[in-house]
Amino acid sequence: MMQPLTASHADHRGERTKRLYLSPPHMSGKEQEFIRQAFDSNYIALLGPMVEAFEHELAEELEVPHVLSTASGTAAIHLALRCLDIRPGDEVWASTLTFIGSVAPIVYERARPVFIDANAGTWTLDPDLLSEALASAAKTNGRLPKAIVPTDLYGQSCDLDAIVEISAKYGIPVICDSAEAMGTTYRGRKAGSGALMATYSFNGNKVITTSGGGALTSADEKLIQRARYLSTQAREPVVHYEHLEVGYNYRMSNILAAIGIAQLRVLADRVARRQQIFQHYVDGLGDLPGITFMPEASYGRHSRWLSVLIVDAAQFGADSEAIRQALEVHNIESRPVWKPMHRQPVFSGARTIGGAVADSLYAQGLCLPSGSGMTQSDQDRVIEVVRSLGALSLRRRPSMNEGRALNDHP
Ligand SMILES: Cc1ncc(COP(=O)(O)O)c(C=O)c1O
């Protein structure tokens, strides 16, 4: 008989040392029921009733009229750019503090990414910087971007209304990358709502997952129709396979949509749990000198997809990398804040507007395990390791006068 595959690092180590992942999938228990229904109907191929139902339920959740489910969040962004007819050489301005999936599709179209720094208070695209840069571009050479792609970061919405208002002055469309923001709110609306198009990811590490998958939304039906057409190989509606242009195989499969339906039903619980986890980190670590947390912008509710802290090494006595390594020794996964796009070798030639804020968040930021399935005692393991470093640093930190003595006699 076939042995079940397991990826558990815990098998030979016991509960205490089981690996704690950053943000593993968290199933509701109902997924297999929907998958079974999909199997029973034999809709194993790409499209089928689960896809339709998932898109319908997602539209209700996100309070948008039109939704296309896709193979990934990256595919959704690519389709959005195609819908806007982004051409080789066009500029697309995007957040520098993001994951590469947000901006890789700009390069797929041979367009040119320009990176914009984050605002220190929200960590998302700085609207003031955008406003100044657009005004100066309009004044000097008139070269304006064809689209703007701000990212909602770690569960915090960007200041979308401000970004849309500034961009609208120049007639520039906004695609909001809300991959990390399922369950996030912005001015009482769902994250992404208010952009011409918004994109979401259901990758395995997100608040809810379809294992891999994404979605593109818009209030404009024509845009979603166009994206739907492009996502199914730009196939003309005739019985033989007729193509007037080249598209993609970017649809979500019926089986994965079945998982998505079950996951959507627990979204509110998952977000509430992530927010609780964040609060427990604040309670457990917030008193340590040099430790602060990602702020929550006043305009919305942060889903706390990931709990992120900032380490001031001078005050804490150890830097974020030392904490990451100490956690790793205890079989706990943590990750630096996204390395900004303007620091990525692949984008070395790209223009950047600002960048110092993203640089410093990258240097000091650490994402802690945040999965909604983790227990309080899992979390206490993390807190214990970080606190032990802090305590060590407190003991070791020399005062101005005793520095030499401590260094000489460790
Ligand atoms: C900000 C951001 N944009 C885009 C993506 C791409 O989504 P996917 O992995 O579903 O392609 C992700 C995550 O994976 C992301 O975090």
* Residue 214 CA, closest ligand 1 atom number: 10
Q: How far apart are CA 245 and CA 203, in angstroms?
A: 29
Nearest CA to ligand 1 atom 7: 73
Report the predicted TM-score, pTM, of the whole model to 2 decimal places.
0.93
CB 152 near ligand 1, within 6 Å: no
CB 153 near ligand 1, within 6 Å: no
Q: How far apart are CA 202 and CA 136, in angstroms?
A: 38
Backbone angles phi and psi of 15, in degrees to 5: -60, -45
Evaluate whether 58 touches 76 at the Cβ level (below 8 Å).
Answer: no
Ligand 1 pocket test: which of 115, 176, 201 has the largest number of ligand atoms within 8 Å of its C-beta? 201
Ligand 1 pocket test: which of 99, 100, 182, 337 has the largest number of ligand atoms within 8 Å of its C-beta? 99
* Residue 201 CA, closest ligand 1 atom number: 10
Q: How far apart are CA 176 and CA 199, in angstroms?
A: 6
CB 95 near ligand 1, within 6 Å: no
Residue type for position 269: D
Give the position of tokens 């016991």. 14
CB 180 near ligand 1, within 6 Å: yes
For ligand 1, the distance from its centroid to the CA atom of residue 96, given in whole angstroms, is 14
In this predicted structure, what is the pLDDT of residue 48? 85
Residues 6+ apart with CB under 8 A from 219: 64, 65, 66
User: Mean pLDDT for each 10-residue chunk of the chain (410 residues)?
Assistant: 47 65 97 95 85 98 98 98 98 98 98 98 98 94 92 98 98 98 98 98 97 98 98 95 96 97 98 98 97 98 98 95 97 98 97 98 98 97 94 47 31
In this predicted structure, what is the pLDDT of residue 6? 46
Give a three-class secondary structure readout of the chain. Answer: CCCCCCCCCCCCCCHHHCCECCCCCCCCCCHHHHHHHHHHCCCCCCCCHHHHHHHHHHHHHHCCCEEEEECCHHHHHHHHHHHCCCCCCCEEEEECCCCHHHCHHHHHCCCEEEEECECCCCCCECHHHHHHHHHHHHHHCCCCCCEEECECECCECCCHHHHHHHHHCCCCCEEEECCCCCCCEECCEECCECECEEEEECCCCCCCCCCCCEEEEECCHHHHHHHHHHHECCECCCCCCCECCCCCECECCHHHHHHHHHHHCCHHHHHHHHHHHHHHHHHHHCCCCCEEECCCCCCEECCCCCEEEEECHHHHCCCHHHHHHHHHHCCECCEECCCCHHHCHHHCCCCEECCHHHHHHHHHEEEECCCCCCCHHHHHHHHHHHHHHHHHHHHHCCCCCCHHHHHHCC
Residues 6+ apart with CB under 8 A from 251: 46, 47, 51, 69, 70, 71, 231, 232
For ligand 1, the distance from its centroid to the CA atom of residue 201, given in whole angstroms, is 6
Q: Distance between alpha carbon 251 and the CA centroid of its chain, in Å?
A: 20
